[in-house]
Chain A
Amino acid sequence: MAEKLKVPINPSISSGEQTVWADVSSLLQFTCKELRDGELIHGENFNLFAAMSALEIMDPKMDSGIVCRYYSVDEAIENGAAPVPLSMDRTVDVQCTIDIMDHLLACEATWHKGHSLAQTVFSCIYLLRPDITASHALLHSYCKVIRATCNAVVSVVSDARTHEEEDLFTMTYGLPLKGDGDEKCLSLLHAVEETISRQLRACKAPLSKKRAVEDIEPLQTNPDLEEGYCKALLCRIRFRKHFNHVLTSMKRAQGRGLELARKHIASCLSELECILKSLEFLMSNACGTCGDGIGDKTTASGCQPIGFDATLNCRLSAPTPPRAIKILSWKKAVEYFQKLLHDLDIICSYSLDPLLEGVLRFVVEFQKFKPDLVARAHLQLLLVQDGKLYGRDPIFAVISKAAALPEVSKNHDIQKNEVLVQLGQLVISLLKIICTNAAWQRRKLGKILQDWRVIYIQLELSFRKEFGEISSTSIDENLCMKISKHILVWVEEQTYWIASRFLVLGFELELYSPGEYCMVYWYIYVVCIKLAEKTHLKMLTSNETGKRKGKKKKDAVKDLAKDYQIPPIVLLLQCHIYLAEGLTMMLAALRNEHKVFPSAGQFNTEHERFIQHFELLQKASIPDHISYLSFKESTTHARLSTLVTHNCFKDAQKIAKELRNSFSHDPERMAELRRIEQVAEHNGVALNLISQLGTLDPSLKVYFEFIHHPYFATAVVKRS
C-alpha cells in the first residue's frame, strides 16, 4: 500500500542521522480509510524500542494522562489541593504540617531507594511552588531545607557518576530544585527552631514563672497538647538541620569535615529516636479517624498528608510510561535513614589509610553492609578527589607505596612515563568501580581485567625500552630494574585480586547454580594460587629492598630466618586455596560417583557453560594456559576415597587455627578465620560421612548452603 505513493521529502528541515523529514499528509489521507484499529504505518527503522515506546491512548496501563486528577499544578492549587495555612484551626494546622514532614521523609527514602525525584519528594505541591508557603514560616523553612538537601544529594551522586542507578536518581526534569534563597534555609530553620523551643519552655514552666513568659504566643490552641506538638516538631526540624550539616561536612575537601560530620550523624540518630518516640502521641491525637495501626502508613499519625499529588508530575517522569509507585512506609523510611547514617558513620570513621591495600579492604568490608547509592557515592567522592587519593595523595605516590618502590623513586623521572600515567588511571577507575553496587561492580571488574593485562605488557615493553637507554649511560640501572620488577609484580597481584573479586561477587549476586559450583571453585582455586604467589613474591622483593638500609650483620641473619616463614597474609590466602580445592574435588567426586548435579542439557554441555562464565578471564589469559580441558583433567578422576586421605579441609582448618595469633589485633580477619574454620570443619565431617555411607545408601541427599561463609559453601547431608 505504501509503495504506491510518493512521499515528498523536505531536505530543508534538518533531521537525525540517516533520516529525512517528509510530508506524509497525503499518505495518511490515503490510508486512513484502509487502516483498521491496531494497524500502523512505519518506516524501516521502526524497531523494538520504538514499538515499546508507543503508547495506546486511553489504556490505563500506559496512558499516564488519563489518571491525572489535575491538569496543572496551578489548577491543583486553585482547587485547594495545597492550602496555606493548612487549617484555620491552629492545632489542626500543626498536625497537618507534621504529616507533611513525615510523608516527605518517606518520599525522600523512596527516592534514595531508586525512584524518580519527580514521583517522590516532588509530588509535594508545596515544594513545586516555593512562593505559596511564604506566609507559613514553619512549612516554608522546612520546604527550603528539603530542597537544599535534595540538591546536595543530587550533586554528590552525579559527581560520583559511575553508577548505573544514577540515571533515574539524578534526573531532575526541570523541577524547582533550587528555590530563591534556599541557601539561607538553615538560618530560617534555626529561627523557627528557636521560637518553638521557647514555646516548649513556656508551656513547661511552673505556674509561678508563667507570667514572665506570657508574652510568648503558644504553638497552637490546646494547652494539653502544646508540649507534645512542640517536641514532635523540634525533633523533625533538628533532624533536618543536622542532616544538612552532615552532607556539607562530608563534602569538605580531603576528608577534613569527617570528624564534624560524625557529631552531626550522632545528633541525627538521636533526633530520629525522638521522632520515633513521638509516634504514640501523634497517633492518639490524630485529627479525625485515620484508619487503624501504623502498618504501611507514610505518617506517624497515620493520616493522609495534605498537598501531595504524584500524578501532577507524571508527564515529567521517565520516557517509559510511568507507573504508580509505592512510597515506603514511615517506619521503613526512618529505618532507611538510620541505616544510611550508620553507613555514613563508617565512612566518616575511616582513617584515610595511605596504603592502597588497606583502602581496597576497607571498601570490600564496607560493601558487606550493602550500603545504598547515597552512602556509596559519598565513599567514592571521599576516595577519589581531583584525581588523587582522598584529594591528597598523588596516584603515583600511592602506587609507589603499594608496590613498595625504593624511596628514591618518588622523585624519579619514571613517574612521567606515559604507561605509568595510564596505570594511575586504572587505579582510579578501580577505586570508583568497587564503590558501585555489586551487580554493576562485577560487570565493570570483568571488563577492566583486560586493561590490567594489557598494561602489564605495555609496562614490560616500556621499561625495557626506557631502561635499555639508561643502562648504557647511567648508574641508575640497578634502581630502574628494581622499580620495574616491583611494579610488574604488583600489577600482576592486583590483576589477580580483581579476578578473585569478580569470581566471588558471582556468589553474592547468585549467578552460579549448584551444578556450576565445581567449575567456579576450581577457577577460584587457580586464581587464588596465582594471587598468593604474586603477593608472596611482592613481599619478598620489598623485604629485600628494605634490608639494604645499612643493617647490622646480626639483624640480617635474624631477618633471613624470618624470611623463611610464609607471611600470614599469604597463609590466609592458602586457607582459601584449600577450601576452594576441597570443594572442587568434593563436588567433582560427588558427580563422578553419585551423579549429583548432572550437567546435561538438551542444547549444550558443561563446556559452553564454562566458556560463558569465564569468558572475560579467559580472554585476558587469567591465569595463563588455563582452559576447560585443564578443568576436566583435574576433576574427572576425583574420588571420595582419595579425598578423605588427602583432606584439604583439614589443612585449611589447621592453618586457620595457627593464624589466630598473627591476626589477634584485626577483628575482620579474625572473623574470616572463624568462618574458614567452621566451613572447613563441617565440610570435613560431611566428606567423611558421604564416603562412609554414600555407596551403601542411595537415599542420601547432598546439597550446598552458604551458612558459614559468604562464598565457600557448606555441604549438608540429609536422608530424603
Chain B
Amino acid sequence: METKTNEEERVTTVEELEGSEIEYLSYGGEHHLPLIMRLVDEELSEPYSIFTYRYFVYLWPQLSFLAFHRGKCVGTVVCKMGEHRNTFRGYIAMLVVLKPYRGRGIATELVTRSIKVMMESGCEEVTLEAEVTNKGALALYGRLGFIRAKRLFRYYLNGVDAFRLKLLFPRPEFQSSLHMMADRNENHGQKDIIPPEERSLLEESF
C-alpha cells in the first residue's frame, strides 16, 4: 500500500514543536476511524473503502497508532500481521503524517511502535511497499533496518514502480554464531554484533 511522510525535508510552517507535544495513542475504537480515514484520504492517492480500514483496525487494533498535536490528529499508521508462506509476518499498510508536521520523527515513532508490537507478537519479519520515488519513506525505513527486497514493476495505478521493503528480525539460532564472532573480533565491528535487545536498551538510556 502506501506511505506519505517525509523525514528528510523540514517544513517550517508549524513552529518548532517539542517531542513531548506530540501524543501517541493506540487505536481506541470507532471514534478514531474517521480521523484515520480523513488523513489517508487527504494524503494518499489510492482510494480505500471503509471496509478496508475496518479490516485492519478491527482485526489488529493493537498495531494501529495515531499521533495528536494539541488534540488534532496529525499522523497515523495502520498495519496487519498473519501467516504468509509459512512465515509469520507483519505488514505496514498505511503510514501518513500531515505535511506541515513532517520531518519531526513522528512517522518514525508511529512505525516503531507498530514494529515493536509485531516483534513482541512473534513476527519473523515486517514488509511493506513504497513508491520508488518516495525518498523520505525509503530513508526512514532504511534507518530502521529495512532492505529493498524487490522492485515491483508499475505497481501503483499511476504507473510508478514500488519497492517491496522487508525487515527481518534476528532469529535465535543465528545469535550463537554471532557471539562467537564477537568473541573472536573483540575490537572490531562491535556495533553490529551487540544483540538488538541489548542495543535498544543502550540507545534508550542515552
Contact = CB atoms under 8 A, between A and B. Distances in A.
A592 B153 CA distance: 37
Contacts of B54: 38, 51
Given A607-B178, A608-B168, A511 B149 contact: yes
Interface stretch (B10-18, B97-105, B193-201): B193-201
A48 B168 contact: no
A632 B188 CA distance: 10
B142 interface: yes
B181 A601 contact: no
B169 A608 contact: yes
Interface in B102-160: 112, 115, 119, 132, 142-145, 147-154, 157-159
A52 B52 contact: yes
Contact of A51 (B55, B115, B168, B200): B55
A321 B153 contact: no
Interface string B170-187: 100010011001000100
B151 A603 contact: no
A439 B196 contact: no
B83 interface: no
B80 interface: yes
Given A114-B159, A511-B148, A592 B189 contact: yes
Contacts of A50: 51
A636 B189 contact: yes
Contacts of B48: 52
B203 A602 contact: yes
A1 interface: no
Contact of B181 (A38, A439, A512, A629): A629
A609 B167 CA distance: 8
Contacts of B167: 603-604, 608
Interface in B51-80: 51-52, 54-55, 80
A601 B144 contact: yes
B142 A605 contact: no
A603 B188 contact: no
B150 to A, nearest CB: 6
B188 A592 contact: yes
A613 interface: yes
A443 B49 CA distance: 32
A605 B52 contact: no
A604 B145 contact: yes
Given A603-B115, A603-B196, A604-B167, A62 B49 contact: yes
A512 B168 contact: no
Q: Main SS of chain A's interface residues? A: loop
A62 B178 CA distance: 51
A439 B132 CA distance: 12
Contacts of B55: 46-48, 51
A516 B147 CA distance: 9
B112 to A, nearest CB: 7
B132 A510 contact: yes
B186 to A, nearest CB: 11
A320 B155 CA distance: 13
Contacts of B119: 603
Given A61-B47, A603-B196, A511 B145 contact: no
Interface residues of B, number: 49
Interface string B2-36: 00000000000000000000000000000000000
B196 A510 contact: no
Contacts of B38: none
A62 B41 CA distance: 12
A602 B196 contact: yes
Contacts of B158: 323
A599 interface: yes
Given A601-B145, A629-B177, A437 B169 contact: no
Interface in A592-606: 592, 598-606
B161 A600 contact: no
Given A51-B54, A439-B152, A632-B189, A607 B144 contact: no
Contacts of A601: 143-145
30 contacts: A38-B50, A40-B51, A51-B51, A54-B51, A114-B154, A321-B47, A323-B157, A439-B150, A439-B151, A439-B153, A440-B153, A442-B150, A510-B148, A591-B189, A598-B191, A602-B112, A602-B200, A603-B144, A604-B167, A605-B145, A605-B193, A605-B196, A608-B169, A608-B170, A609-B145, A612-B149, A629-B177, A632-B185, A632-B189, A636-B188
Given A510-B132, A592-B188, A602-B196, 15 more contacts: A48-B55, A51-B52, A54-B49, A54-B52, A62-B49, A114-B154, A165-B153, A323-B157, A442-B150, A599-B191, A602-B200, A603-B167, A612-B149, A612-B168, A629-B181
